Amino acid sequence: MNSEQKGFDEGLSEIKKDVEAKVKKSVVVPEYLTGQSKIYFRCYPGIGCFTKCCSGTRILLSPYDIYALKKRLGMTYNEFLATYTQQSFIDNTPLPITILKMKNDETKSCPFVTAEGCTVYADRPLTCRYYPVGMGIMKQFDKGTGTNFFIKIKEDHCLGHNEAKAWAIDEWRADQGSTVYDEINNDWMEVVLKAKTLGMVEFSQKSLSLFFMVSSNLDAFRKFVFESNFLNAYEIEPEVVKRIKEDEIELLKFSLSWLRFTMYGEGDFKVKEEARKTARERLIAEREEQARLERERSHREPD
């Protein structure tokens, strides 16, 4: 077995675990699919299984999903999160993530689905856009290169696979409007992928809190940037500061790029030397305080 096939098999195994955690009675078709691979699929009002895929599932919300939905509904981030979401974790990682809160009914259906279809269809989450295709990113971090691959998801109830409409996967992605989501979410996906690749690594509580904030609440990140010492800690060009102040999408992309930098040191952010010195002094002080507490604890404990 060559290294490429071995890497695919390992990656497919991880994706299969993820998908099986999200959908019931599903089959992940074990094919190595590229953007040019063909699938046969069509979904439309009137097909016998219409909207069945919108119930009994776990819909993870990416940062751009949340942005698009809260904007569509005319809500703030806090309002949207409180009304339509709950916290979970990305499979096989300690990373906290926002998922869509399903209706508390017999079918556990999506809050935006009706018998006539999706009421937020133009701004539906990326998971819904890709269906019935799953996506993985095979990444060799030491070489800094990556290859996209795709898998086909077949659920027992889904009749769309019996349709004669043929798509190249890249055609399907373009038709469903998923490419812009992939582009904006790219840095975030790289963070998630690396966490999954490294397994259940330990992150500090601060890192996990920052990950959740950046992943789910751009309003909170905006306050973090403009109402703290953030801009004094990094060398950021004035035109960049202007853009992220005026354009929410630019702020979103900036936040995801910064998240990748702060969690894995990947990216072009430069920390000012004064901020580095302050951080080193703070770390030394924290370690000294921890050592002092350990000494006090050892003195109090009986022999």
Domain-by-domain residue ranges, the chain? Answer: 3-197
Task: Say if residues 39 and 152 touch (Cβ distance below 8 Å).
Answer: yes
Q: Report how far residue 168's alpha carbon sits from residue 34's, in angstroms, rounded to the nearest whole number.
A: 9
Higher pLDDT, 136 or 233: 233
pLDDT of 97 reads 93
Which distant-in-sequence residues (6+ apart) come within 8 Å of 100 by Cβ? 59, 61, 84, 85, 110, 111, 125
pLDDT of 301 reads 65
Identity at 112, one-letter amino acid code: F
Please report which confidence band the pLDDT of residue 120 belongs to, taking 50, 70 and 90 as the band edges: very high
pLDDT of 221 reads 97
What average pLDDT does this structure show over 22-47? 77
Quote the pTM value.
0.80
Task: Say if residues 1 and 125 touch (Cβ distance below 8 Å).
Answer: no
Instruction: Tell me the CA distances in angstroms from 173 to 4, 34, 90, 169, one per residue in order.
Output: 24, 12, 23, 6
pLDDT of 14 reads 53
CB neighbour class for 55 (10 Å; exposed up to 12, middle 13-18, buried from 19): middle
Q: For residue 26, is pLDDT > 70?
A: no
Of the listed ranges 41-50, 86-95, 122-131, the least confidently predicted one is 86-95
Instruction: Tell me the CA distances in angstroms from 141 to 16, 253, 266, one per residue in order.
Output: 22, 22, 11
CB neighbour class for 3 (10 Å; exposed up to 12, middle 13-18, buried from 19): exposed
Token look-up 């975030």 returns 188
pLDDT of 38 reads 93
What average pLDDT does this structure show over 54-63? 92
Q: For residue 141, is pLDDT > 80?
A: no
Q: For residue 61, is pLDDT > 60?
A: yes
